[in-house]
Structure formats: C-alpha cells, structure tokens
Structure 1
C-alpha cells in the first residue's frame, strides 16, 4: 500500500479477481443463457417462458436443476440454490431476504405478490400488488406491467408491450391500442436513473 503527500492511500498492485462471475444474455430476454466463472462455463437451459430450469457444465453434465411452483418459489432443487439466482423472467433472488428483485420492486414467492404497490399505480392493473394472473403465459420483468411473450418464426413478439427506441419498453394498452403517456414518461425517467 502506498501513501502520497496528501495522505491518500492506494495499492501498489491490483487486487486479484476472485469469484468473478459473468452472465451472458442473448439480447431477447431478461434471463441469462450462460454463466462464466474462473473454474468453468455453464449453459443455462430455459423453459418456454424463459425461466432457468437447468445448468450444464462444459462437459454437458447437469450441475443445477430447479423446478418452481406456481408462485415461483423453489419446489425441487438439485445443486446450490444461488448457483443460478434467476427465477421467473426478470427476477433475481435475494438470498438474504428470499425475495425476488424485479427492477422496480420486490416479489414474494411465498404469497405470489409484490411487497410494495405498483409504482405506476392502477396503470399496471387494478390490484397494485399483483404479479401476473397466469405464470404459464404471462411475465412481468420490471414489476410494472404484465405481457405475454410469444414466439413467431423465431422472433419474440409481445402481446401487451413493444420496444421503444433506445431499448425503453412501452406497455401498449390492448383496449386503447397505444401506450399510456404517463407510463411511458415514468419508464423513460426511471431507466435514465438506472443507466
């Protein structure tokens, strides 16, 4: 460790990287498709709703296998729980609290609801604590509004959302047929803060 004339300290060499993990995304979802560590690389197998269900090492052996219940809580697990901390699409499990981080609020897999009100109020739905009504066909990656990912000729099309320039998501009201400006402004401001 070195100290300069002003009393500031710095290291004379770089600290070694330990336990460095890199998550690889395919760009079409909010769940990684691979995990890279110092020891090995792992492929992440996802189900039709882009929920991680298995991890395979570089030899093709299953090292992590997970089945979630209807609320997203771990029902069956093979391997360490935090080896792949991603649950439903867009959710990252906080190992200390047991809650799932959804960008704008936390989800409780025991109750199947968010623990705080929807930041966009009833624009996200009348029940301001609700997750999606059907986890087999809907997701809520931001904790703001549900949408249904559908594969069409290998390309994701969103039934209740669309991409806005610059990667800012929009949520299209299926009745009105356009995005509520209040929701769009909120998303644009929040994503600027996050960047």
Structure 2
C-alpha cells in the first residue's frame, strides 16, 4: 500500500446524505450501513438451548436474518448506527476491498493475529467486499469508526501511479477527525 490520505483534510466530507452512510469522495465507494445487533445469550440445558436473560452486542454490515432466530429466544434486535456510544469501549474499522482474494487473505490474517471470528464481519455487493473489524487494541481510537478504501492515483512528484489508502475517522459526535490525532503517541 502506498500513501495514506486522511480524508479529514477535505472540508466537503461532512455526512450529507440522508442515510448516514459514508461515501469516499476520492474512490466514490459508499460503505454499507453498520448495524448494532443485540443477540440473546443462551446455555445448554439437557442439550436444549435456553435463553439465560442476557444479551451480547455484535456489529455487522447487514441486518440479521430470520434464520438466526432460535425457538424460545427473544428476537435479535438490530439498530442502524453511524456513531458508537460514549460507553462503548471499542472502535470499528470498516475496510473496502475490490479484490476478493485480497479480502480473504486479510480475513485469514486477522484470524492468525488473534482477532476472534465473531469480531470480523463481511458484506459483499457489486462494488466489492467490505470487512468490519471490532477492535479494542488502541485506547485512543476507542469510540471511533474508521472507514478505509483504496484506489490507484497518479502522484505527480513520482511521475507514476501508486495505490493509495483513503481513510476517514468519525468520532462519537459523528464529526470527521484527522486519523493522526488518534494514532500518534498511543503508548503515552
């Protein structure tokens, strides 16, 4: 990957479309909705799943299917979000891939690096494959949703084309912020 271009420097990036999905102005990629899903927890009693009264929170790029509903359990509830709650102790990375093999390799690398499978969600449409990572490994990034896409761009200084990554980070108020402000000095 070549240069990382932080989209916070582009003033026209405020979310203006009605559905709160982010569209990268450089790559023209519209990211899918993010869903916060409350999943009823269960336990096995005499080899039968039983609801235990608590819920787990998952983040997905598509609504849950009715096929996920277990008999005797409350329904899964899904809410479209464009920001995280102030109480969430995670951040989300949403990454767009145009190449299926690259996305699969990235997903396999996540497993190799110890990211739990339920913390990696995917969504495919005509524009490519999107991966959503639920992460908690960088305290300064907590509460942010970071969108990443890439494209080939001509770099005049090099006189050549280079693949560039475009990054937009949104805080809990829904404002775009410079990625460097939540990456530099994380160990401080």
TM-score normalised to structure 2 length: 0.25
Higher relative contact order (CA 8 A, sep 6+): 2
TM-score normalised to structure 1 length: 0.24
Larger radius of gyration: 1
